Amino acid sequence: MKKLTDKEIQSLLDDSGKLEESHEVELYQRVFRELSTLPDVNVYPLAKDVVKILQKRAERIATIKTYSAISLCITFSFCAFIAGAFVVDRSLALKLLSVLYSYRWVIVFLLIVFNAISVIERKNVSNLP
């Protein structure tokens, strides 16, 4: 009988075809059996840990959104207040603006700090846990 090539043996084993017993075939059968055996590895309880990480992220994102919304509200209210002051008393509004102008670097510094914290927080969220 014609000797089967490696390719033919592999292909017949893949298709669960019938094979004449031989040393080569037996070796391949052992290899195939081992390849189909699940390796001895720990299957960790991933679900609980992953959900915990996702919840933590969601909470951090919600906190960032809340702080961003609060800061936007404060900025908007302040702008509205200045606009209102212009309508009611123009000179008072100008005085207010000049006070703000004298503290411009403090304001710029605070804005930079706030934005930096916000960017760092967002990065931290993507690097969780």
Partner 1 sequence: MYTDKALIDKILAGNLGAYKLLIAQHGRLVTHMVTRVIGNEDDVKDVSQEVFIKVYQNLGKFNYQAQLSTWIAKIAYSTSVNYVKKYSSKNSIRLDLTENDLPDELTPEDIFNAKNEAAFLQGQIKKLPLAYRTVLTLYHLKEFSYQEIEVITGMPEGTVKNYLFRARKMLKERLGRYYKK
Residue 49 interacts with partner 1 (CB under 8 A): yes or no? yes
Region from 34-42, 72-80, 87-95, 102-110 binding partner 1, contact rule CB under 8 A: 34-42
Out of 1, 2, 35, 101, name the contact with partner 1 by CB under 8 A. 35
Q: d(Cα 85, Cα 42) in Å, to the nearest integer?
A: 68
Contacting partner 1 (CB under 8 A), which of 8, 22, 54, 73?
54
Q: How far is CA 51 from CA 45, 55, 56, 89, 127, in A?
A: 11, 6, 9, 56, 15
Q: Which of 15, 20, 34, 91 binds partner 1 (CB under 8 A)?
A: 34
Q: Which is nearer to partner 1, 38 or 99 (CB)?
A: 38
Contact between 127 and partner 1 per CB under 8 A: no
Q: How many CB atoms lie within 10 A of CB 52?
A: 11
Contact residue for partner 1 among 50, 100, 111, 113 (CB under 8 A):
50
Q: Distance between CA atoms of 38 and 49, rounded to whole angstroms?
A: 24
| CB within 8 Å of 88: residues ≥ 6 apart | none
Structure token digits, residue 10:
């592999």
Q: Which of 24, 71, 85, 125 binds partner 1 (CB under 8 A)?
A: 24
